[in-house]
Amino acid sequence: MPVAIAAAAGLLSPGTAGALGPYPDLGSCPVFPVPPASLSPRAPSLAGEAAWNQNIAKAPRARNSAKVIAYIDSHGGGAIHPDFGSPRAYGFPYAVVGTSAKPLPIHYTAYGSESSPGPFPVPAGAPVEGGPHADGDRHVLVVDRSTCKLFELYRAFYKPTPKPHWDADAGVEWDLRSAARRPDGWTSADAAGLPIFPGLVRYEEAAAGQVDHAIRVTMASTRDAWIHPASHCAGDTANGSAPPMGLRLRLQAGYPLGGMGTAARAIGVAMKDYGLIVADNGSNWYISGTSDRRWDDAELDALKRIPGSAFEVVRSAAAVRPC
C-alpha cells in the first residue's frame, strides 16, 4: 500500500500482508496495566488483564501440573513452535491509527450479542491475518493510540458497499488502560474471551532482548472450562487434566537457553518469567507473534528444541469454571 493511500485510510504505517514491519510505536499507551507494586512475586496468576504483565517466575506451581503437561503432550506436537516468522504473511499483523481514522460500522455475522457494538476505527486497508484473500480466522487487530483502545475482529471482511463497513463474526473494543475482563461466558476475537494483541511477541521487543509479558499459546485439546482472566471456552473434553482456556504455564527455571540468538533467547526468558496463556484451540504448543519481515526464521528455529515436558502449570488466583 503506497504511503499516501495508507495515510488517507487513517493508518500510521504502510505495508502489505506479505511485507509488514516495522510497525509504529503505541505512543504513551500501555498494553494493559502492570500489577500493583505491592503484589507479592509469589502470588498466583492474577484474574484480570494485568495478568499479561505479571512476572510469575516465583508463583506457586499448580498441584496437577504434571498431569496437565502429560495430557497436552499426549495430543501431539510435543515442542514449542513459533507461529510467526518471515518473509511470508505468517503471524498476526496489526495496524496503529490516530485521530484521523474514520470509525466504520461493524456488522456481526455470528456473535453479535457478545461483541462490542462499534463503530470501530478500523480502516479499509487494515491488514488481515493471512492476507486479504485468506480464508482462516482472518483476525484484524488495530490499536488507536489517540485513545489507547484496542480493536479486535474475528473473521473480518471489509465491504465497500452499500456503505463502507466490516463484516465480522465477533469483535471487541478493549481499553488498554483497564485490567477489566470480559463478562463470564462471553467470547472475544479469540476462543478464550481474551485479547490477542498483548500475547503477541513483537519483533521490536524481542530484538531488544526484553519480552516482558505473557505469550499467547494454542493447544490441540482443551477442557470445556476457563480460568480468569479468560471468560469463554471451546473445549472438546471434560477431562480434568486437559488445559482450560486461560491456563498459565511457564518454562522451568533451569531449562538451558545457551546458544540462542538475542530474539530467541528473549522469548525463552519470557516463557520463564511471564509464561504462556492458553487462548485458543489449535496446534499444540504454538506460540503467537507478529507478522514481520524482520524475523530471522533460522534464529526462531532454536525455540523448536524446547519440549513441552520442560513446562509446568502455574497456580491461578481464580478457580476453574466449567462451562
Peptide bond into 162 cis (omega under 30): yes
pLDDT of residue 3: 33
pTM of the model: 0.95
Q: Of 245, 250, 252, 270, nearest to 260 (Cα)? A: 270
Q: Say if residues 289 and 266 touch (Cβ distance below 8 Å).
A: no
pLDDT of residue 21: 87
SS3 content of the chain, % helix, strand, coil (to 5): 15, 20, 60
Q: Of 249, 176, 188, nearest to 217 (Cα)? A: 249
Averaged over successive runs of 10 residues, the pLDDT of the chain (323 residues) comes to: 39 55 95 98 98 98 98 95 86 96 97 97 96 94 98 98 97 98 97 98 98 98 98 96 98 97 98 98 97 95 97 98 94
What residues contact residue 2 under an 8 Å CB cut-off, 6+ apart?
A: 14
pLDDT of residue 10: 59
